[in-house]
A and B are shown apart, each in its own frame.
Chain A
Amino acid sequence: MNVEFQLLDCDYTTINNKAIVRFFGKTKSGKSVCVFFKGQQPYFYISTKTPLKVEKFVKEKFKNIVERIETVYRYDPIGYKKDKSQLSKLILTDPSQVPIVRDTLQKEKLTDEIYEADILFKYRVMADLGISGFKWIEAEGQSVRTGTVKADIVLEATNLKENASLENCDLKYMSIDIETISEEGVPDPKKNIIGMISISFFPKFDSEDSIVLVSKLFSKNNKSVKVFPDEKAMLQEFLKILESYDPDAIIGYNINNFDFPYILTRLRENNLSLMLGRCNQKPSSSRKIGSYNKSSLTGRIIVDAYELVKESIRKGNLRLKRLGLGDVSRELLNDTKIDVSHSEIFGHWHGDVNQISKLAEYARKDSELALRLILERGFLDKFFELSKVSGLLLQDCLDGGEAQRVENLLLREFNKNDFVLPCKPAETSSTEVQDLKGALVLEPKTGLHTGNIVYLDFKSMYPSIFIAYNICPTTTLTGKQYNVETITTPYKTRFVAKNVREGIMPQILKRLIDERDKVRAEERAASDRNVRRLLGAKQVALKIMTNAFYGYTGYVRARLYVLEIANTITGCGRYLINKTKEIIEDKLGQDVVYGDTDSIMVKTSDSAIEDAYNTGKKLENVINKELEGIVQMKIEKIFKSLLILSKKRYVGLAYEKFNGDWKEEMVMKGIETVRRDWCDAATKTLFEVLNILLKEQNPKRALNYIKDFLQKLERNEIPIEDLVITKSISKSIAAYKGIQPHVELVKKMRKRNGSAPGVGDRVSFVIVKGMQLLSERAEDPDYVKNNKIPIDSKYYVENQILPPLERVFEVIGISKIELLGIGRQTLLKEIFGNSRVSSNGNSLEASLDNFDGFACVKCDKSYRRIPLIGKCFDCSGEIVFVSSNQKSRHVESPV
């Protein structure tokens, strides 16, 4: 029998002390598969000066554990050595015994070095069989009947083979959200029951998109709201649905840290089964690792939408101010949660039918939103491909870091080339990175650059350096002088030449870069949207993997942490940037305004973008000729205008050529545009100012815009919604030490009408005018509106609006004083160089000492005071001051 499936998970079980590997997956037709594979044994290597003594010791001590010891020859992983070393390969029966044997040998001082004794057995087997996570596998074998696993097809394979199909199978997604019932504070899973579990499905389950399970008989049962007499009965139904629907992925928003561990505890408290995965013998678990929980569910994956959103923000792919499900959904799905605050849940639960129904719909919406975030925003696409490229299982790709992905790739390549990998450094060793020298950042020419600026960057600079200088732990020359051909890098480190031994890392990187080029070309050529999406995700995954190598060599917890290599890479990078600057400035006479790590910005004298592009092309050609064989430079974009604030902080209006057309985009680096403690007005004003500066290249208008905004703020004309600041209550009010605005407001609200946000809620507040401390002047926006309490505009100006803007204006020569409108007008004139003149050509700029009234410049009509419309009622002419027949736009008065 043959079965083709896409790999989702892999683990092993032991029968009679022998390991059986289990591959869980999904067929194209949507059937769940579990493939057993026998015959794989765990092993590791040691180098020892006394192999016979080791053999004797092992035979005595680990008679039934170590099956045999083989003498093998492998290359050392770090430092070039012409010949292989003799190693002892210990082959065991049970993978769980590996750490015991390893530690004992170490304790007995029988080894010089131990290699690969900490490779997870599933990855050892996958590497040996050449199988990667989430790839398609063809299994050949016999169908078996077993009660140990839950799968549509169970097979004992005799042969496994990977296939390169691009498409992914249709996974079944089940999104869950629980509502716990606690009167106050953070719910305690040992005490507080789960009131509701909402479950959303894709595809549908029993023709329903979602079901809410309620542990209270508050109304009649229906298909989408099922009621139960107590929590236990509800949890039993949940288990039934899980088994019946048999999802591949369980989704939730903050599911790893809340919903999943909470459900497990409640199942335990109710003496119910914890077998939520596809194995009937292995209970699901949630382990705390540092500050987060790692969930484990055999045969399925757990997807935490919250973690993925956070990751996207960290990587700069998303700009979001708040991370609550409601806020994120509003931004990404144009939809939001049902309006029930966290502190209201308890009240609703004990309320009438309508309130409980509302709570059920609220819960339903939460699970729906989490599901939609994952499916509609394609958050998993990248991880599917990363799993395929790195070979890691999908769950580990979602949970783990880059080092784990790189190491899995290295394990396969090292073993293929007869190298062994060292074990990971001990946890207790210092995490301090010593002497790792960074990249070169050229001193920027700050200010607003309004000519066309060409942005050039080196294509995969650090990976190219690995390849160009054959940099790898396996090629580095450490101390001993070998009579071999070597390459000396600009950083003065030496590696053996490619023809002596091509490094493993350069080999992998070359393959990844070539593959990415190929995939990008295919992506551009693809007409099918779905194929383009898959190829897009693949090229992103390849890029992530390619760029992870430099960081890996400088990561102290890496198996192949070689500081000298990390320093060589950055050293070469610095050399190349300096060299490029030299070529551009000295040889080509162009002006470099900024450069950072692998990119350089050159100011051209071209007024048309196309001309600037051609200039950039010329630069590209010259640089590439000079640096041939090392790195390749290419034009990335043209900045029509560029505002450089400082090193690593700039914003520009960029044009990128895309299929022959220019695509406009605002590029921001290092400039904070969203912060959780900013009100919306702060973000909006910053964006608007940058827009005006870059698109209109008009600092004066930007200044006027801000002045106008500040005046509106002063006059209470800014919608209060734009001034709202939010902060969440993370613990009980009594537990807060010190005075914080949102906490003080909650106290005030409780005193006022009893109802106030509680633990887990976000508190929205505005700062109002008053003589008290700032923290005592936080007020509920609705209360402010209803009672027409004036906003403390000064607070907003000083703490919200101006801080992000000050630096922007400062680099274009406008001080804070001028932003506030208290600077002298002459200074503004100096900056903008345009003095205003009256319509008839006479200057109205000479100030008067005082004034009697006003008059229209055009029709001379006199006014006692300025008309409300600010201009002449009769002819719409400009109004000016009048004093004894003299007119002016200004009067001088003491400040």
Chain B
Amino acid sequence: MEKNDILKEFLNQGLQVDSAALDILMDNKKLFEEVLKIGGKGLPTVITKEFLSSLSPAHEKISVEKLSEIVKYRYMFIKKLLLDKMSGNVISINKISEKTKDFSVIGLVSTRNGNITLEDATGKDNFKADDESSKNIVEDEVVGLICSRKDGTNHINEIIFPDIPLRRSFTKGELARKAIFISGTLDKNTYDKLVDKIKIEHNATVFILGGTIPEGELKKFTSNTPYTTHVYTSTLQNHPVSVEIDTVKLLFLNGHDLDYYRKIWTDFDTLIINLLKKRNFHPTITPQSYDNRFLVETVPDIIIITDAEDTRDLNYKGTTILTMESIDKKPIYWLINLQTRETFKTVLS
């Protein structure tokens, strides 16, 4: 199969395909036909290698070494970020001795039961923290600790999180393009309202996340919205998904991805910002989440969280965070002018 033919086919359906998946499909016509058969409804916005794997569940042996590499990778990645922030005396854990006084360490949190056990590539040690400062630490995240040692105990003076850079360039789209984000499936009524609204938007990219539009309406949708260049519509499988439009980096998350942390931070804004500060939307490792999918390697310009409790916007150090409920619960969508980065919460009424 030719690369362009595959891309064209998916684009006609309002879908994107990532390069790894594209490679697989180029060599596997049968799989490509299978994907097409599933059609818009059952397909994710971005066809990924993982999604394709889910269609042909061949089994792979996963080794301990492979998982170990995942842990090492996240440690190394965050360590690099932390080293830039920690100018002091960063030492390896095995170098902490009776003579050590003021020092800093970077490590992976093993346990946090009052005290924190931190490990690095040389060993592990316990660190005493006050309740207030340690409450934002979760297991398996990588942190920097600025400490002092007294009477054989390591006292944490400050906890350093990787965080996102404060002064980074404010990315704006080169073109006067708008992006529209809708969460959930549109019924006929809502759909008609949406088409009426979108008609006036020139040069917009519409993302229908975690849902679809009424069957058979996609072509009509496009023809009814003459200035709309792209419509991406599908369920958000294998989230999170990163997309870049006109150099603006978008990250789509499903609100349920963050459920694990709702016990720790009841306030949703605090939860999102704390996880963003950790540069990982799922730092805790469980047998079900042995991967680095949620690691925030590239800082997104806009984060869209679907299936959230409410529809609201938030800004953290230049990153726009938009949460939204499913459109069947609340007929609201988000519109962003990618060139000015202005956001508009629009009610479909």
B64 touches A879 (CB 8 A): yes
Looking at the assembled complex, report how far the CB atom of A779 sits from the nearest CB atom of chain B, in whole angstroms: 12
B63 touches A890 (CB 8 A): yes
B298 touches A789 (CB 8 A): yes
User: Could you say which of A787, A866, A873 contacts B67, with CB atoms under 8 Å apart?
Assistant: A866
B60 touches A892 (CB 8 A): yes
Alpha-carbon separation in the docked complex, A770 to B298 (Å): 10
Check if B264 is an interface residue, CB within 8 A of chain A.
Answer: no
Looking at the assembled complex, report how far the CB atom of A766 sits from the nearest CB atom of chain B, in whole angstroms: 15
A891 touches B57 (CB 8 A): no
- Which listed segment binds B: A47-55, A204-212, A319-327, A708-716? A708-716
Check if A852 is an interface residue, CB within 8 A of chain B.
Answer: yes
A895 touches B77 (CB 8 A): no
The listed residue with most A CB atoms (<10 A of its CB), out of B20, B53, B59, B120, is: B59
The listed residue with most B CB atoms (<10 A of its CB), out of A711, A716, A717, A865, is: A865
User: Could you say which of A771, A825, A854, A864 contacts B64, with CB atoms under 8 Å apart?
Assistant: A854
User: Could you say which of A714, A869, A892 contacts B59, with CB atoms under 8 Å apart?
Assistant: A892
Which chain B residues numbered 100 to 120 have a C-beta less than 8 Å away from chain A? 107-108, 110, 119-120
A868 touches B61 (CB 8 A): no
Check if A880 is an interface residue, CB within 8 A of chain B.
Answer: yes
User: Could you say which of B64, B69, B81 contacts A881, with CB atoms under 8 Å apart?
Assistant: B64
Residues from chain A with a CB closer than 8 A to the CB of B71 are 865-866, 868
Residues from chain B with a CB closer than 8 A to the CB of A893 are 59-60, 62
Which chain A residues numbered 850 to 895 have a C-beta less than 8 Å away from chain B? 850-854, 864-870, 873, 878-881, 889-895
A868 touches B298 (CB 8 A): no
A850 touches B298 (CB 8 A): no
B121 touches A869 (CB 8 A): yes
Check if A772 is an interface residue, CB within 8 A of chain B.
Answer: yes
Main secondary structure of the interface of B (DSSP, over half): mixed
A892 touches B61 (CB 8 A): yes
Check if B176 is an interface residue, CB within 8 A of chain A.
Answer: no
Residues from chain B with a CB closer than 8 A to the CB of A847 are 61
Residues from chain B with a CB closer than 8 A to the CB of A878 are 64
Residues from chain A with a CB closer than 8 A to the CB of B216 are none
Check if A790 is an interface residue, CB within 8 A of chain B.
Answer: yes
A715 touches B63 (CB 8 A): no
Check if B244 is an interface residue, CB within 8 A of chain A.
Answer: yes
Closest B residue, CB atoms, query A716: B77
Interface readout for B13-31 with A: 1 if CB under 8 Å, 0 if not?
0000001100000000000
The answer to whether A770 and B244 touch (CB under 8 A), given A894-B57, A895-B57, A895-B59, is: yes
Residues from chain A with a CB closer than 8 A to the CB of B68 are 866, 870, 879
Residues from chain A with a CB closer than 8 A to the CB of B20 are 794
Closest A residue, CB atoms, query B288: A850
Check if A492 is an interface residue, CB within 8 A of chain B.
Answer: no
User: Could you say which of B62, B72, B121 contacts A891, with CB atoms under 8 Å apart?
Assistant: B62
B287 touches A852 (CB 8 A): yes
Check if B230 is an interface residue, CB within 8 A of chain A.
Answer: no
B69 touches A711 (CB 8 A): yes
Check if B334 is an interface residue, CB within 8 A of chain A.
Answer: no
The answer to whether A873 and B63 touch (CB under 8 A), given A771-B243, A866-B71, A868-B72, is: no
Looking at the assembled complex, report how far the CB atom of A54 sits from the nearest CB atom of chain B, in whole angstroms: 71
Residues from chain A with a CB closer than 8 A to the CB of B298 are 769, 789-790
A853 touches B69 (CB 8 A): no
Check if A788 is an interface residue, CB within 8 A of chain B.
Answer: yes
User: Could you say which of B73, B81, B122 contacts A715, with CB atoms under 8 Å apart?
Assistant: B73
Looking at the assembled complex, report how far the CB atom of B27 sits from the nearest CB atom of chain A, in whole angstroms: 11
Looking at the assembled complex, report how far the CB atom of A716 sits from the nearest CB atom of chain B, in whole angstroms: 7
Check if B6 is an interface residue, CB within 8 A of chain A.
Answer: no
Check if B58 is an interface residue, CB within 8 A of chain A.
Answer: yes
Looking at the assembled complex, report how far the CB atom of A537 sits from the nearest CB atom of chain B, in whole angstroms: 53
Residues from chain B with a CB closer than 8 A to the CB of A865 are 71, 140, 285, 290
Check if A145 is an interface residue, CB within 8 A of chain B.
Answer: no
Residues from chain A with a CB closer than 8 A to the CB of B287 are 850-853
Interface readout for A826-858 with B: 1 if CB under 8 Å, 0 if not?
000000000000000000000100111110000
Which chain B residues numbered 234 to 274 have a C-beta less than 8 Å away from chain A? 243-244, 247
B119 touches A868 (CB 8 A): yes
Alpha-carbon separation in the docked complex, A361 to B19 (Å): 48
Check if B130 is an interface residue, CB within 8 A of chain A.
Answer: no
Alpha-carbon separation in the docked complex, A868 to B57 (Å): 30
Check if A315 is an interface residue, CB within 8 A of chain B.
Answer: no
Residues from chain A with a CB closer than 8 A to the CB of B80 are 716, 788
Check if A824 is an interface residue, CB within 8 A of chain B.
Answer: yes
Which chain B residues numbered 80 to 100 have a C-beta less than 8 Å away from chain A? 80-81
Alpha-carbon separation in the docked complex, A772 to B248 (Å): 11
Interface readout for B285-303 with A: 1 if CB under 8 Å, 0 if not?
1010010000001100000
Alpha-carbon separation in the docked complex, A850 to B110 (Å): 22
A868 touches B65 (CB 8 A): no
Check if B189 is an interface residue, CB within 8 A of chain A.
Answer: no
Which chain A residues numbered 372 to 388 have a C-beta less than 8 Å away from chain B? none
Closest A residue, CB atoms, query B16: A771
Alpha-carbon separation in the docked complex, A864 to B107 (Å): 17
Alpha-carbon separation in the docked complex, A794 to B18 (Å): 12
Which chain A residues numbered 691 to 722 have a C-beta less than 8 Å away from chain B? 711, 714-717
Check if B232 is an interface residue, CB within 8 A of chain A.
Answer: no
A894 touches B120 (CB 8 A): no
A715 touches B76 (CB 8 A): yes
Residues from chain B with a CB closer than 8 A to the CB of A853 are 287
The answer to whether A895 and B53 touch (CB under 8 A), given A788-B81, A850-B287, is: yes
A894 touches B60 (CB 8 A): yes
Residues from chain B with a CB closer than 8 A to the CB of A864 are 285
Check if B333 is an interface residue, CB within 8 A of chain A.
Answer: no
Residues from chain A with a CB closer than 8 A to the CB of B59 are 892-895
Closest B residue, CB atoms, query A890: B61
Which chain B residues numbered 135 to 153 have a C-beta less than 8 Å away from chain A? 140
Residues from chain B with a CB closer than 8 A to the CB of A854 are 64
User: Could you say which of B53, B69, B124 contacts A873, with CB atoms under 8 Å apart?
Assistant: B124
The answer to whether A889 and B63 touch (CB under 8 A), given A771-B243, A788-B81, A865-B285, is: yes
Which chain A residues numbered 142 to 182 have a C-beta less than 8 Å away from chain B? none
A772 touches B244 (CB 8 A): yes
B75 touches A891 (CB 8 A): no
Which chain B residues numbered 38 to 56 have a C-beta less than 8 Å away from chain A? 53-54, 56
Check if B226 is an interface residue, CB within 8 A of chain A.
Answer: no
Residues from chain B with a CB closer than 8 A to the CB of A880 are 64
Residues from chain B with a CB closer than 8 A to the CB of A770 are 244
B121 touches A790 (CB 8 A): no
The answer to whether A891 and B77 touch (CB under 8 A), given A850-B287, A868-B119, is: no
Closest B residue, CB atoms, query A852: B287
A890 touches B123 (CB 8 A): no
Closest B residue, CB atoms, query A866: B68
A825 touches B61 (CB 8 A): yes
Alpha-carbon separation in the docked complex, A869 to B108 (Å): 11
B72 touches A824 (CB 8 A): no
Interface readout for A393-410 with B: 1 if CB under 8 Å, 0 if not?
000000000000000000
Looking at the assembled complex, report how far the CB atom of B89 sits from the nearest CB atom of chain A, in whole angstroms: 21
Alpha-carbon separation in the docked complex, A777 to B45 (Å): 23
Alpha-carbon separation in the docked complex, A893 to B119 (Å): 28
Residues from chain B with a CB closer than 8 A to the CB of A769 are 298
The 6 closest A-B pairs by CB, nearest first: A894-B57, A771-B244, A890-B61, A870-B68, A895-B53, A715-B73
**A contact set with B: CB distance below 8 Å:** 711, 714-717, 769-772, 787-790, 794, 822, 824-825, 847, 850-854, 864-870, 873, 878-881, 889-895
27 inter-chain pairs at a CB distance below 8 angstroms, sorted by A residue, are A711-B69, A711-B73, A715-B77, A788-B81, A789-B298, A794-B19, A822-B60, A852-B287, A865-B290, A866-B67, A867-B110, A867-B119, A868-B75, A868-B108, A868-B119, A870-B65, A870-B68, A873-B123, A879-B64, A880-B64, A890-B61, A890-B62, A890-B63, A890-B64, A892-B59, A892-B62, A895-B58
* New A-B contacts (11) at CB < 8 Å, excluding given A715-B76, A891-B62, A895-B56: A716-B77, A787-B168, A790-B297, A867-B119, A868-B71, A868-B107, A870-B68, A870-B72, A891-B61, A892-B60, A894-B57
